[in-house]
Structures are given as structure tokens and as C-alpha cells.
Chain A
Amino acid sequence: MGRFIYLDHNATTTTDERVVGAMKPYFSKSYGNPSSIYKFAQEAREAVEIARAKVARILNAKTEEIVFTSGGTEADNFAIKGIAYANKERGNNIITSRIEHHAVLNTCKWLERQGFNVTYIGVDRYGIVDLDEIKSAITDKTVLITVMHANNEIGTIEPIEEIGKILQEINKQRITNNKPRIYFHTDAVQTVGKIPIDVNKLDVDLLSLSGHKFYGPKGVGALFVRKGTKIAPLLHGGHHERNKRAGTENVPGIVGLGITCEIAMEEQEEEGKRLKALRDGLEKAVVGKIDNVIINGHPEKRLAGTLNICLKYVEGESMLLNLDFEGIAASSGSACTSGSLEPSHVLLALGIPPEVAHGSLRFSLGRDNTEEDINRVMEVLPPIVEKLRAMSPFGKGREGGLRWDTQKR
């Protein structure tokens, strides 16, 4: 076995050493509670506010529009439940897409059980949301639209700016007719720190981000809440975060997130180009060396480091286990890896048949990956697929072998 090759950066990343270094003093040296009044605690308070300014900068937001959370999941929960409850006398409809992360989807499903109404919008074969479907789904009762910036499984980047424009027009009319505006949230957990983001250009009211997806620490994230947005807190308690999120601030984490954003602003463009070249190389090699492969996600509008493929006639988990033996960490959308009996809801929403979706593999590249890693993957993956296909009762042109389409549904 060669060196360990980590190709699961959409799941999590290593914390940058520079970030760890910046966090260190806030564990046992400047450990004051930012809410305390004495000078000693001011160090922590100042550090939190400096970090807030750094997070605001990467989004082109105002400092006071950043609310720190425990991560992406909390930010999504806060945005959706917070808008739903604060605006429930105005309407009870929420519009979202079928390919959202579970932090959004399961929050929406829970709200449905509380009496809210949720409309789920479909996507095309590349995973792009249907703008016309969004337009026609909007009703007088709609209070929130939430669509992710980029999908974590297939990497497709959604037309957030276009949705923002559509909403701006609708909101203009609503305001003239004395009707409340519709809020717009995007889960940008997969894009912050990877591509440039401007909340004003995207025209979003709320945006979720998470530190550990772009070389920051785990357990910290943020929600951008545009000034004037009517939102209820998720956590009640003290007067932290301008009454939007109670609980003593995770000072080391927040400091770490700030530095993470600063580093990303500096390095994301260059790194994006490098990753795209590596990813494209891997994609080309996979298609060239293995037959019966489907590339998932949009050909161009896709995260630079993400490659999601379906390999027909083989199942995802058995491929992951074999890759793991070779020291390669990747992920899959098969039922066996999701802990449920259904394969990935994202792949199904693309129109991929369930039996093919079970054979998906996701490689998400990052900072430490080199061309050597890609070559190593291409050395081990074809024989793994060949071995499993030989074991599979399915197969192209195999006399007497089972065929997908003759299976009972």
C-alpha cells in the first residue's frame, strides 16, 4: 500500500496549521468569556469581532450581518426555521429543491409536520434547478426560497443569481402591493472558500457556511442574515450574537473560522484552477479506461474538485472498501453507505435509475492532492471494477447474465 490518499474533501478537510496556530491562544491563554466586562475578557471579545469582519469580507457582507453557529447544519436550521416561525402569520409556504443537503431537506420535512407547506423543485439531468418551476411554485403564502449554492454530491453550481433576480422582481411588486417580501436563503457550505461569493450579487438574504469544509475547524460555521430580515432565533438564552444566537461564543473556533476565510480569499482562485486541472485529468482517465461509466453533475457549472461517477453493474460500498484497502478514501451515494435502503436522493433526482445510483463514487479533491494521487487511483480503480463486475450477475453482453431492465420493480 502506498501513501494514504484522501479524496473526500467535500465531507471534511484538514484544519490548516496556520488556523490551528491562530486558535491556540484562545483555549487556555485568552480564555475569557466575551460577554464579561473586565479587560481580560475584552481580548476574546475583540478576537471574535475581528473574525466576524473577516467572515463578512469573504461574503462582501456587513460585519453585523454575520451570526456564528456551530456549523452548517445549525446555520441551515436557523435560517429555515427562523424565517418560517418569524413570518408564519404572513404565510406558511417554503420552496426548496429536491437535491438539498439533509440539513435543509430534513428541516423542511420536520416543518411540514408542524403544519408548514413545502414545495420541492426538480432538477435537470445535470442537477440544475428548474427556474420556471420555481416561478410557478411561488404563491401568496410563500415566505422563503432555499436553494443550495453547489451540491455536495455532484458539485453542480446552482443559478442562485438568477433566482435572486427573479425574486427581486417579485418582491418589488409585492412591496408596491403592500405584501410582505419573500426571503431567499442559500446553503453555501460547499462554495465558501472555493469560489468567490458576493451576497449582494447573489441577492440572497441568508447564506450558510461551515468552517471545516475549507480547511477550518469543525464545530463552527456562520449564517449571513441580511440587515432587516425578520428571523426568530433557534437557541434562546443570553443576549449573544445580537440576540440571534444564544450561548457563549466558541472563541477559538470563531477565531479559526476568521483566519480560514482570510486564507481562502488569498488562495481560492489559484487552488481552484489547480484542482480543476487535476479533476479533469481524473475524469478523462476514468472515461478512457473503464467502460459503462456515467459522469454526474454539470459539465461546466461544477465545483473544481468534484468528480461523481456511476459505474454500472457494481455497488458503491464494495468499491469503497476495495479502495480503502489501497489507502484511498472516497465516498458513494449507495444505500449501503447512506445508512438507509434508498440510494442518494440527489442521483435519483437527476433521473438516474436506482440500480445505477447504487454504483456511484465521489472523488472530491483538495489541497494535498497531486497528479501522483490521480495516477494511483487510475492504477487501482480499473482492476477493482473489473473484479467486482466479474462477480456481479449483471453485465453487458454476458450470455445468460441478468439484465437491469428485466428485473422486477
Chain B
Amino acid sequence: MGYSEKVMEHFVHPRNVGRIENADGVGRAGNPICGDIMAIYIKVNDDVITDIKFETFGCGAAIATSSMVTELVKGKTIEEALKITNRTVADALDGLPPIKMHCSLLAEDGVKAAIADYKKKQELKTKGKL
């Protein structure tokens, strides 16, 4: 398939696999019909993403990008995390075959969806308090 060593390393030993019960934000990206779907769970404390986990159904690149994006996001502030693009993820993996670039988009979308979900929940909480 022409994967880099880094992609293979993350595929064989993916980081942060699993789910977080009572996550502060849950994001989903992709579509099983296209063969890739990802769920991202985040824990947020003082605007910092303190924990992140993923579950992915997909090819080698989908699993490796999921793993890499969780590494990149962990410990970052919401603002910093939102700056991570699919290009950042692909570069951190020493590149992806052209046909697999959409997998890195999945990672970016997954994180953004989880943050959006977190923000929505925060808003509801604040409104609830008012």
C-alpha cells in the first residue's frame, strides 16, 4: 500500500484506543458506507483536553490517523486543538498515500465534532444555571 513506517507503527500500536465513559464531548466523522468511521471522546478541564480516546472502523490509514490525532490533541487547549488540520496529522505520520488523504480529514473532522459537542454541552450547562 505504500504506507510510511510511522503509519505502520501507529496502525500496529494505536494510542488512546477505547471510549471515555461520561466524556465531556463525543464526535463522530465518516460514514461506514465509504468504509471509514471514527468516534472521538474527550475530557476537558479548564479549557485543556486532558484525555482523549478513539474508536475507528476503517483501513490502516484511518486507524493510524485516529491514533496520531489523539496524540497531537492530548494536553492541548481547545483553541490549539482546533488549529490541527488534516495536513498536520498527515505530516506527523510522514505523509499518506494520495488516495488515503481523506482518512486524515476524518481525524480532523472527528476532533472538531468532539469539541463542538463539548461546547454545546457547556452552553446547555450555563443556560441551565441561568
Contacts and interface: CB of A to CB of B under 8 A. Distances in A.
A393 B37 contact: yes
Given A314-B57, A317-B1, A393-B55, A343 B17 contact: no
B contacts with A: majority SS: mixed
A402 B62 CA distance: 17
Given A318-B11, A321-B11, A358-B32, A402 B59 contact: no
22 contacts: A313-B57, A315-B59, A317-B59, A321-B1, A321-B8, A334-B59, A335-B35, A336-B59, A336-B61, A339-B99, A341-B35, A354-B35, A391-B14, A391-B17, A391-B56, A391-B63, A393-B28, A402-B28, A402-B39, A407-B37, A408-B31, A409-B33
Given A339-B99, A391-B14, A402-B39, A354 B57 contact: no
Given A393-B39, A402-B39, A318 B58 contact: yes
Interface in B3-37: 8, 11-12, 14, 17, 19, 28, 31-37
Interface of B: 1, 8, 11-12, 14, 17, 19, 28, 31-39, 55-63, 99-100
B56 A402 contact: no
Contacts of B38: 393
* Range class of the A interface residue count: 20 to 34
Contact of A355 (B11, B32, B59, B99): B32
A407 B55 contact: no
A318 B59 contact: yes
A343 B57 CA distance: 14
A343 B62 CA distance: 16
B55 A392 contact: yes
A372 B41 CA distance: 43
B60 A318 contact: yes
A315 B17 contact: no
B35 A336 contact: yes
Contacts of A400: 19
A315 B34 contact: no
Contacts of A355: 32-33, 35
A314 to B, nearest CB: 7
